[in-house]
Structure 1
């Protein structure tokens, strides 16, 4: 059975982000038979989710694994529940429709230099993707590994700890929203996905 990793980047990010590049390099070196996908996400939530679903649907004769960072963690939570996939959530957004309300208006992607607009209706699209907190049997199902750093300056890490309290949690003191030292956790991520 072929295995694929789908890396879902965060808001206003890109496949060229540090964590995405580190994941790609790690898999290429240690697990070259594992497929790696990290698309440049569409700028509206509904289009981004459709894009990600289409990728999963495109290869159904394999096992998909999700890694989602920040807003990508929120999207990965949705995809994990829809397709019953294992997901690693890195400093995941829990209520992005509240946070991104402050970003309504023109934005520019620092990686692609694409100019796009965040609109009020995008908050409704995000809200529609919200999933309930995993129940007490989450650890038994073992579908989530949630990694947060307490020094996250963008998101309140405690929101993720509360929502995913019944899942496998890694809470590291300090750090920041980028998740400092992420590459040191890739072996644990691969182990969680049972890729070795």
Structure 2
């Protein structure tokens, strides 16, 4: 099973989630795709993901993008799973602090919500000074990402396996090209 964990304000309809779904379908493995729409509250998102992991027939491999990479890092520490991290957010409470008090729009629906200090507190509670089980993580970055600084991730995940691609963007243009590698990791 491949559990795709989407990023901030995204959903299972994200491009990478759908590429993964179609990639698995083309290999007669559609039943291995799992990509839940996460609640905007970090604690609720982690509870949902932990429940899916605990009820899975076999331990899933995680694929986390952006904030989903941060969540995957927490879940690797908690469950000892393997994870591919795509342009992951490092210390997202610090990154998202300027958004406190703002209305956030979801990417794939008309819904919105208020981003509050409670969201930041929950992110802080999940953060780690250094990732646990770094050997279980495959970090994949594109240095053309204008949303997150790729150098923060290379430093934070310095003991993890790393691939840094030239150019690209936060959406990670090489995703389809690395699916076989993620599958074998």
Q: TM-score, normalised by structure 1?
A: 0.89
Contact 1:149 1:174 in 2 (8 A): yes
Unaligned runs of 5+ in 2: none
Deviations 1:51-110 (A, max 9, x none): 111111222x31211000000000000001100000000000001101111222211112
Residue 97 of structure 2: aligned partner: 101
Aligned positions, number: 184
Deviations 1:149-176 (A, max 9, x none): 1111111111100011111100111111
Q: Of the candidates 119, 137, 144, which is equivalent to residue 144 of structure 1?
A: 137
Contact 2:21 2:30 in 1 (8 A): no
Residue 79 of structure 1: aligned partner: 75
Quick one: structure 1 residues 31 and 67, their matched pair in 2 at CA, closer, same or farther if it must change by over 3 Å? Answer: farther
Contact 1:5 1:35 in 2 (8 A): yes
Q: Of the candidates 19, 23, 30, which is equivalent to residue 20 of structure 2?
A: 23
Residue 91 of structure 1: aligned partner: 87
How much does 1:34 deviate? 5.3
Superposed structure 1 runs of 4+ greater than 6 Å apart = none
Q: Distance in 2 between matches of 1:133 and 1:146?
A: 14
Residue 9 of structure 1: aligned partner: 6
